[in-house]
Amino acid sequence: MIKFFAKYKRFGIVLAGLSVVILYLFYNALQPKVTLPVYQPADFNPELVDSTITHVKKYHTIADFSLVNQNGETVTQEDYKDKIYVADFFFTTCPTICPIMTKNMADIQKEILNDEEVLLLSHSVTPDIDSVAQLKKYAKKKGVLDYKWNLVTGDKKQIYELARKSYLAVKSDGDGGPYDMIHTENFILVDKERRIRGTYDGTNPEEIKELLKDLKILKASYQN
């Protein structure tokens, strides 16, 4: 009897192992897929949305844009085609929340360093001050990698419209005067179809963790 069990011991171990694998696969197959919502203007606080689009409940996407980065190169939506990206709004002379936001964006950059699917995009809200040379100086100081992260300047009206009508990120569109300025701590997660999939407080470490978690979920949705 002992010889019989010894003879089939290996077979029993293999069978047990296969059973565990099959049960694991069945368990995973029965689990609901985690997905991120697609946010529309109607989902946001109306104060954050331009009055012309507060009613929009579907098909909202980030508008076309043409801006200039820290290297003096024109950056458009085509540079982000088929990419997931994280966007924000900042200015280089900001002494309050921007240094924190930039540090946190740099931490995100470290996480996506070798990920060809994901990029970063930071818009200056003081484009008259943030020239290409100023952005380049700031980029070097903050460890910005050109192939992962564009700091962009350009037409102020375009940037402000992007903030309020595309990224739904600010409560004010400015008064048009020489000193008006919008400012927001929001990081916005944008998918490959240019849709908003999440917004996060760029000064809050816990929300940065949430962003990175959501980024993985979003990436996985393109693999299934």
Annotated ligand binding at 60? The verdict is no
Are 120 and 108 in contact, with CB atoms under 8 Å apart? Answer: yes
Q: Cβ contacts of residue 111 below 8 Å, gap of 6+?
A: 212
Q: Which ranges constitute the DSSP H helices of 119-204? A: 132-142, 156-161
Closest CA to 182 of 125, 112, 98, 106: 125
Rg (Cα) of the chain, in Å, rounded?
Answer: 23
Are 91 and 129 in contact, with CB atoms under 8 Å apart? Answer: yes
Annotated ligand binding at 123? The verdict is no
Could you list the residues known to form a binding site for Cu cation, using ranges: 94, 98, 183
Could you list the residues known to form a binding site, using ranges: 94, 98, 183
